[in-house]
Amino acid sequence: MFEHRIVAPASAIDELGHVNNAVWVQWIQEVALAHWYSVADPQHQDNYIWVVVRHEIDYLRAAFEGDLLTGRTWVGDAPRGARFDRHMEFVGEDGKVRVRATTQWAIIDKATGRPMRVPTEVIAPFMGD
């Protein structure tokens, strides 16, 4: 499991006074990319890019300006072709989950711009996180 901390800035707050739903989506990508860049081989980072093909998000509790949140992410089952599931949750300092998500990502070969089967050596460092 990979963890990444975020403090909710004023710019993330909507007219209801809490973190806007669209910001959570941005944070999901931020945490996922931080995980990729912290673990992936530099050659893989040069050769491949990931794109989201599906988000499933449960908004469980509100977060507010100044809240310290820990984004936790891990890879689910082995990839299916070009795709794999990434699990995500954002937890407040009180230990309660604010948002839980499963996102499906596809790998793109930068040289061709096309999806490709996820190479075993690319996903291996993320399995069993």
Task: Identify the structural domains of the chain with CATH numbers, from first to last.
Answer: 2-126 (3.10.129.10)
Q: Residues 15-63: pLDDT tens digits? A: 999 999 999 999 999 999 999 999 999 999 999 999 999 999 999 999 9
Q: What pLDDT band is residue 128 in, cutting at 50, 70 and 90?
A: low
Q: What is the pTM of this model?
A: 0.91
Nearest-CA neighbor of 122 among 71, 73, 78?
78
Query: Does residue 103 contact residue 58 with C-beta atoms inside 8 Å?
Result: no
Helices of type H across the chain: 21-39, 42-47, 120-123
14-to-18, 42, 57, 63 alpha-carbon distances in Å: 6, 37, 18, 11
Q: Give the model's pLDDT for residue 129.
A: 61
The average pLDDT across 72-97 equals 93
What the block records as the tokens of 97 is 């989950």
pLDDT, the chain, mean? 94
